[in-house]
């Protein structure tokens, strides 16, 4: 994996908030022109610290909402300030209802070579429940349009663990997605984020969610099924048709490679220090327009915190972590032997790799070695 840093740009605009989402976004695109100017001002602050990238990820929010002119101005400005490798992976997150032949062709023409489509489901009832703006027909059309525009690195995002969703229903969703042979699939379990409409409904007992055993069955069945269809389960929620189609940008997060985040609420890491920006797009713009930094806070994690984070992120990946990272003591070695015997981890070539059973408790695996 390349040691070059990655660049993330947070596009904070959405037409509306989905029922499960707690990411920062604004309901209006009216600030987009001003936001582009602010992002480029922020980029100027980091030209000496970060000069070369081999990934660019436009996330949100809804990056596909940006007008052609705003997107062109953004990408042109970033290329004037930073050097991007000729083979750079450039990803745009898109909602299916934003994908038209003209827009898809524009994106390709601007150098975007990886499209991540937030499909979530091919079931209209589920999409309405999630508060998505598109329907199943639009999802299908978006994939077809992206292919016709020349996207040969296409990712489809799906969600499982939804209210009243059965294993059979989920398998049908996977089959619909596989009909398009996407190079990448992200299969995210629904999480009830505090303060979201879904969280409130769950507290009121209005959502019939899968049991722990049902969720376990969906997760393990998904992994085994997609592996038989040629996908590599390379991270707990992510599958790719071979290493070239793994998300090169996201792998930087999981492997502690530095990255720069631009935009409201974006996070950055230079290999030692972490910092994050103010959440409000208006406050973000005002600070940069006034010659100030948009940074809201920073930290330098200590050795114990860095180790814990490396374990948490490493155990999310198929590669796992190097054995020495968990520790060398006799007690830790006993814990490793127990985890292997219990089928949670596999030990090979000096690395501890999570099994499917281990992935089910990935967040708790580091606690085995405290």
Residue 23: is its pLDDT beyond 80? no
CA–CA distance, 41 with 67 (Å, rounded to integer)? 20
pLDDT at 14 (0 to 100): 76
User: pLDDT digit string (tens) for 150-177?
Assistant: 999 999 999 998 888 899 999 999 999 9
User: pLDDT digit string (tens) for 299-356?
Assistant: 999 999 999 999 999 999 999 999 999 988 989 999 999 999 999 999 999 999 999 9
Chain mean pLDDT for the chain: 92
pLDDT at 311 (0 to 100): 96
pLDDT at 19 (0 to 100): 46
- 97-118 average pLDDT score: 98
Q: Which of 6-10, 211-215, 288-292 bottoms out in mean pLDDT, i.e. has the lowest? A: 211-215
CA–CA distance, 130 with 121 (Å, rounded to integer)? 9
Quick check: helix, strand or coil at residue 295? strand
Residue 368: is its pLDDT beyond 60? yes
Per-residue pLDDT band at 202 (split at 50, 70, 90): low
Q: Which of 21-35, 138-152, 254-268 bottoms out in mean pLDDT, i.e. has the lowest? A: 21-35
Q: Which of 57-71, 118-132, 174-188 bottoms out in mean pLDDT, i.e. has the lowest? A: 118-132
CA–CA distance, 48 with 43 (Å, rounded to integer)? 10
Residue 27: is its pLDDT beyond 60? no
Pairing relationship of beta strands 238-240 and 184-189 according to DSSP bridges: antiparallel
Per-residue pLDDT band at 25 (split at 50, 70, 90): very low
CB 89 within 8 A of CB 54: yes
pLDDT at 189 (0 to 100): 92
CB 328 within 8 A of CB 191: no
Which stretches of the chain are DSSP H helices?
A: 32-45, 68-81, 101-109, 124-130, 136-148, 167-178, 197-203, 212-228, 248-254, 281-289, 303-314, 323-326, 330-341, 356-359
Per-residue pLDDT band at 205 (split at 50, 70, 90): low
- 134-148 average pLDDT score: 96
Find, among 237, 258, 194, the residue nearest to 7 by Cα: 258
Taking the complete model, does pTM exceed 0.85, yes or no? yes
Percent residues over pLDDT 70 in the chain:
93
Helix (H), strand (E) at residue 194: none
Domains (range + CATH), the chain: 6-254 (3.20.20.70), 303-369 (no CATH)
Residue 358: is its pLDDT beyond 60? yes
Q: Which of 60-64, 193-197, 317-321 bottoms out in mean pLDDT, i.e. has the lowest? A: 193-197
Residue 20: is its pLDDT beyond 90? no
């Amino acid at each position: 994996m390349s040691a070059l840093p990655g660049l993330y740009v947070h596009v904070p605009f959405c037409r509306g908030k989905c029922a499960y989402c707690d990411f920062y976004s604004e309901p209006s695109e009216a600030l987009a022109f001003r936001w582009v100017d602010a992002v480029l001002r922020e980029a100027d602050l980091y030209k000496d610290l970060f000069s070369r990238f081999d990934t660019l990820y436009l996330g949100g929010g809804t990056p596909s909402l940006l007008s052609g002119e705003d997107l062109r101005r953004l990408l042109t400005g970033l290329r004037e300030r930073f050097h991007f490798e000729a083979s750079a992976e450039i990803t745009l997150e898109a909602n299916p209802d934003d994908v038209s032949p003209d827009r898809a062709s524009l994106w390709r023409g601007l150098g975007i070579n990886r499209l991540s489509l937030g499909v979530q489901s091919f079931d209209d009832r589920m999409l309405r429940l999630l508060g998505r703006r598109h329907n199943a027909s639009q999802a299908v059309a978006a994939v077809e349009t992206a292919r016709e525009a020349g996207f040969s690195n296409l990712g489809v995002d799906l969600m499982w663990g939804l209210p009243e969703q059965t294993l059979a229903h989920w398998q049908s969703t996977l089959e619909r997605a596989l009909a398009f042979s996407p190079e990448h699939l992200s299969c995210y379990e629904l999480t009830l984020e505090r303060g979201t409409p879904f969280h409130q409904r769950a507290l009121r007992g209005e959502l019939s969610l899968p049991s722990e055993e049902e969720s376990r069955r969906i997760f393990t069945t998904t992994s085994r099924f997609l592996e038989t269809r040629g996908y590599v389960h390379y991270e707990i929620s992510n599958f790719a048709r071979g290493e070239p189609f793994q998300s090169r940008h996201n792998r930087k997060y999981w492997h502690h490679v530095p990255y720069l985040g631009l935009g409201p609420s974006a996070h950055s890491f230079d290999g030692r220090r972490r910092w994050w920006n103010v959440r409000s797009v208006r406050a973000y713009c005002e600070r940069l327009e006034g010659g100030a930094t948009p940074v809201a806070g920073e930290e330098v994690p200590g050795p114990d915190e860095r180790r814990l984070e490396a374990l948490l992120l490493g155990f999310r990946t198929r590669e796992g972590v190097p054995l020495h990272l968990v520790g060398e003591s006799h007690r830790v070695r006993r814990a490793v032997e127990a985890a292997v015997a219990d089928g949670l981890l596999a030990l090979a070539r000096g690395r501890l790799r999570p099994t499917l059973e281990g992935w089910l408790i990935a967040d708790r695996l580091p606690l085995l070695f405290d």
